[in-house]
Structure 1
């Protein structure tokens, strides 16, 4: 194996990235080296590529970014016992400390010292990536690499939707980016009576329909609150999954949730958002839950079960494939919203 590899590098504090030849990572005793077979572009990657306010305050170029992938183990450290060379793997992208109060009480997904691959350390937009063995998730060799590469964001959708009961309930998914569209499929598979998807992009609303939405609403063409009232006889929806991060949409989510309902927020607004806490949360007795990452490794087990059983099929969501060298085409589609999930192949 050569000691150099192709990688997409966030090379400067500004818009864009570049394809470069960089050294293949070396591994420690408890790490593995993985040959990346498929890596998908996440909304977080778009933030970094576009160099928005969040990325300016968080990441430190130059470095290899990207965090969603599937690949094959090609080398392992001396003290690695959970995987073997040749195993098909993906990875939990939150590298946690194991000793903070959250890690010790079973909440490692909100570890106080989390490092995220592709954000805080080199990532997987490359031919090879090195990771701690404890972060690996072994895949069924029959699972296609492109599908396996989207398990990490699919886990975000699973965690958001299944943070509470949804069987027989009305669920609103606000924001139909790829994870929002996945959330539609999860809610439907979990037995929601209605899954109402809101967005401004008709292309993505069509994908939401394919994933099982019972109603889709273009919020530019219809008032979301009026539609919600019609669909719920004025009672409001039981569960809101907030995936948009837009202040107006987020406010609408709190207004459309029923008394005693749940609002689970995965989105990352780039600025503070004003919410009518008194009337839309306190007096309504609403449960508000911030969702970060995936419960380790409970959510991964749920992801594997949903995909393996066929209860959720993410293939309609994977709309584009490109070579790693064509990454700019993928990012352009993501920025324009003219795609579902974009997968790159090193």
Structure 2
């Protein structure tokens, strides 16, 4: 089969020919139809230092945001059957550590991640544990299914607490931030203020339903938020950017007694006095991955009922053979979500 792999400890990937995986007990083989590019895939493509430290084994088939059809099942598999169309949960949990046994598989102590710790899905076929398959109803467009995995991150960030009737600021409108905007509106947010320096993404934020869009490099976000909320501040902030300045802005613009949800990863320390949050009685949530599997249920309902439309986010489609063009479109910030059509 053809597959996209990291074959050298240098920037870039390589299209290789490799045997189709064989399934064992409890495993399934999925024929990949669509696979989308995540920001972490871009970091792996660029071979950033922190990613180089994480990847232990080379070669490694990359990719993890996946949609496909089950074509083979191993002994003992009952969760899915041949012919099912599935999305894949990319966190491979051990099932036996303290976190797994107490309902927190997404932070498993022995966690492995598809496309990083085990071979991934930028390939014609991928092998995964059966419990990592999420059956998708026919009401969800097949082209959207690979986006269900990152959408789970957006759901857990924006819906960390009830959002209906609330005023929310989304800081950082990359793909997951943009998903957060439309999820918040679908779930009844009264006001969504989006902050994003990139003009293409600001326009996309408007399209996804943001009521107010701010360029934080040219406008005073704090001043605008206070003006739009009668000086109260927003009830909640979803910090998606990983920018230290945005973190501090989140603490400043949230109303006393409100909450801040953090998804963006910070490449440098943030100088922060916890008293600033304590004196405002701010609740801070941190988000990693998706809750397994309650978040998947929420994602499915939002998409299956038509509450959320992901089509505008899929700006580019490529075959695997054009992987360099695909990744460069993301690096140049010309794309939102790029989907490989593998079928």
Number of the residue aligned with 1:36: 32
Aligned pairs (5 A) from 1:175-324: 175-279=172-276, 281-324=277-320
**Retained in 1: the 8 A contact 2:29–2:71?**
yes
**Retained in 2: the 8 A contact 1:54–1:270?**
no
The whole-number CA distance in structure 1 between the counterparts of 2:332 and 2:83 is 38
Number of the residue aligned with 2:69: 72
**Retained in 2: the 8 A contact 1:39–1:146?**
no
Cα root mean square deviation, aligned: 1.2
**What whole-Å deviation, never above 9, does each CA across 1:209-229 have from its counterpart, x for those lacking one?**
111111111112211111111
The whole-number CA distance in structure 2 between the counterparts of 1:197 and 1:241 is 10
**Retained in 2: the 8 A contact 1:32–1:77?**
yes
Deviating more after overlay: 126-135 vs 232-241: 232-241
Matching of residue 173 in structure 1 with residue 158 in structure 2? no
TM-score between the two structures when normalised by the length of structure 1: 0.96
Q: Which sections of structure 1, spanning at least 5 residues, go unmatched? A: none
Q: Secondary structure at the match of 1:172?
A: strand
Matching of residue 121 in structure 1 with residue 118 in structure 2? yes
Matching of residue 50 in structure 1 with residue 46 in structure 2? yes
The whole-number CA distance in structure 1 between the counterparts of 2:135 and 2:319 is 24
The whole-number CA distance in structure 2 between the counterparts of 1:14 and 1:229 is 47
The whole-number CA distance in structure 2 between the counterparts of 1:14 and 1:258 is 46
The whole-number CA distance in structure 2 between the counterparts of 1:276 and 1:224 is 21
- Following superposition, the deviation at residue 273 of structure 1 comes to 2.1
- Following superposition, the deviation at residue 272 of structure 1 comes to 2.2
The whole-number CA distance in structure 1 between the counterparts of 2:50 and 2:131 is 28
The whole-number CA distance in structure 2 between the counterparts of 1:241 and 1:52 is 26
**What whole-Å deviation, never above 9, does each CA across 1:85-127 have from its counterpart, x for those lacking one?**
1110111111111122221121222222211101211110111
Number of the residue aligned with 1:345: 341
**The one of 95, 99, 108 aligned to 1:98:** 95
Q: Secondary structure at the match of 2:202?
A: helix
Number of the residue aligned with 1:333: 329
Q: Which sections of structure 2, spanning at least 5 residues, go unmatched? A: none
Matching of residue 157 in structure 1 with residue 154 in structure 2? yes
User: Structure 1 pair 98/261, CA: closer, same or farther in 2 (3 Å)?
Assistant: same
Aligned residues: 341
Q: Secondary structure at the match of 1:320?
A: strand
**Retained in 1: the 8 A contact 2:67–2:85?**
yes
